[in-house]
Structure 1
Amino acid sequence: MTISAASPLMIVALAAVNPAVAAPPLDLSADLSVVSNYLWRGTSQTDDGPAVQGGLELGHDSGFYIGTWASNVDFESGANYELDIYMGFDFTLPDEAASLGVNTIYYAYPDDDGSIDFWEIGLSGGYDFFSAGIQYTVWGDKDNEDALFDQGDLYYYAGLDFELPYELGLGIQLGYYDFTNDRVEVDELGNTRSANYWHWGVSISREAGEFGTFSFNYEQNDGRSEIWDNDPKFWIGWNKSF
């Protein structure tokens, strides 16, 4: 998501000058992460290398929020970093264990030698330890009209989150990517394969107070090896919210 990298910095500056800006009903938060591999929907965005990530979010007690998030990446196309901008609304429901929200997110790769940005809208919900959602690609800025991550792509996901003894957390995830241009040429003879794939993962996390949250994670996809790296991925992560 990229509107302007200066926008969140202006928010921070205003908050420093006038603390009331960040006081209720507004809340400004930030997070910082270090991961040994940046996995997104079951595929590595860093060629199995580490990443440093962070973001800023401004929320309103009505349920509206807007934010930005960035990470280094390593793409064959030449992109070295991702800059996202997002917003959404979480509805207030009679049952506090239930959740329902809408969102939109713009994925930008400003230093790419070809344009690969794309934009999604989504719907999510859940109850207690279960959550699920769907993301729809509204627009993709691809030179090739038959490329992946283009208008019409659908991504479905579901997850389970449990609290374990000793302040441990267990997360289980499942997702499916349904590309509108799902046939991808894989060799010089013009043979094609479907790019659609399932992915799944398990995460064990541990909160450490002021030291943040540490996690150990496993993820894998069942995509065709000619298109996706479907080897199992094990990675560790650290996250701190402010």
Structure 2
Amino acid sequence: MTVVLASTGINSAMAAESTPLPFPGTITGNVSVVSSYNLRGITIGPENDNTALQGGLDYSHDSGFYAGYWFSNLGYSYAGLNPGCKGTDCTTKSFENDFYAGFKGKLTEDLGFQLGGTVYYYYPGWESTGYETIVGLSYKQFTVTAQTLLNNVTFGNKGDTYFLATYAPELAGGFTGKLQAAAYYYGDDDEFTGPTTTDFAFRHATLGIAHPLGATGATWGLDYIFGGYSRNETKQKNKAVLSLGYSF
């Protein structure tokens, strides 16, 4: 899912140069391969514990409006998680599609904000379609976001909120660093998810590093996830994730 690097969504490809368009705004794209897709620090039962192909397109306007699409193949069927599922859709591995839009603006030269939303659509498994808001603040290379789920789905409850703090400094030698800490507020409707036994928990911490592969436009990355706790207080394992991305 969107926003989280190498654990939930948009992965290691560094930002591409903007492409001029015949209308206002710019479009950038990215494609990447990751050794595993661990949604928001979930390392036990990840979205895909094998190599995953991911990528997307992003549109941005000078006004601050943005919109985009992101995808990933998954290691299981979301359709099979829904009660009453019948037929081959229950076993056919699903494909994640994230559609998002919003607005980013500046309060001062260094202080920015973000307001937006995301629709998560899975095929097979459209019944798991989720709607989520995002609000965020940024100061230079530091960003804090909160993403709140608006409906009960197989992967979460209405009110689930993912809090993420990210520091992404530029390092010597062309390297880019990443330091993340995340927590979750868990809603307790439990219509699809099973028992929720905690309201609030540390979810994960991530240390990462990335570097361009010469002048190829590709970037390699390495993240190490320090696992936290799921909604039923299951302790997640620590895990390393490798990535190779290309931006255009």
* Shorter-chain TM-score range: 0.7 to 0.9
Length-normalised TM-score, structure 2: 0.76
Equivalent in the alignment of 1:206: 211
Letter in 2 for 1:197: A
State the structure with bigger RCO (CA 8 A, min sep 6), 1 or 2: 2
Cα offset, 1:108, TM superposition: 1.3
- Structure 1: gaps spanning 5 or more residues: 2-18, 143-147, 187-191
Cα offset, 1:24, TM superposition: 5.5
Cα offset, 1:205, TM superposition: 0.7
Could you tell which deviates more after superposition, 67-76 or 170-179?
67-76
Which of 78, 101, 108 is the aligned partner of 1:87? Answer: 101
Equivalent in the alignment of 1:48: 49
Equivalent in the alignment of 2:147: 135
Cα offset, 1:226, TM superposition: 6.7
Letter in 1 for 2:53: V
Equivalent in the alignment of 1:108: 121
Cα offset, 1:135, TM superposition: 1.0
Give the alignment's Cα RMSD to 1 decimal. Answer: 2.7
Which of 134, 139, 143 is the aligned partner of 1:122? Answer: 134
- Cα distance in 2, alignment partners of residues 38 and 229 from structure 1: 18
Q: Contact (CA 8 Å) 1:182, 1:196: kept in 2 or not?
A: no
- Structure 1 segment 130-169 matched on structure 2, within 5 A: 130-141=142-153, 149-169=156-176
- Structure 1 segment 15-30 matched on structure 2, within 5 A: 22-23=21-22, 25-30=24-29
SS in 1 for 2:169: strand
Could you tell which deviates more after superposition, 148-157 or 158-167?
148-157
Considering fraction of residues, name the structure with more strand: 1
Residue 31 (1) aligns with residue 30 (2): yes
- Cα distance in 1, alignment partners of residues 230 and 24 from structure 2: 48
Equivalent in the alignment of 1:67: 68
- Cα distance in 2, alignment partners of residues 201 and 171 from structure 1: 7
Cα offset, 1:223, TM superposition: 1.4
Residue 239 (1) aligns with residue 238 (2): no
Q: Contact (CA 8 Å) 1:195, 1:223: kept in 2 or not?
A: no
Letter in 1 for 2:122: Y
Q: Deviations over 1:137-184 (max 9, x none)?
A: 122345xxxxx5122111111011111111111100011111111877
Aligned length: 212
Cα offset, 1:49, TM superposition: 1.3
SS in 2 for 1:75: coil
- Structure 2: gaps spanning 5 or more residues: 2-18, 82-90
Q: Contact (CA 8 Å) 1:55, 1:68: kept in 2 or not?
A: yes
Q: Provide closer, same or farther for how the CA distance between residues 233 and 195 of structure 1 changes in structure 2, counting only shifts above 3 A.
A: farther
Equivalent in the alignment of 1:99: 112
SS in 2 for 1:166: helix
SS in 1 for 2:216: helix
Q: Deviations over 1:107-133 (max 9, x none)?
A: 111202x72221111111111121101
Q: Contact (CA 8 Å) 1:43, 1:229: kept in 2 or not?
A: no
Q: Contact (CA 8 Å) 2:198, 2:232: kept in 1 or not?
A: no
Residue 194 (1) aligns with residue 195 (2): no
Q: Contact (CA 8 Å) 2:217, 2:247: kept in 1 or not?
A: no
Percent of aligned pairs with the same amino acid:
25
Cα offset, 1:222, TM superposition: 2.0
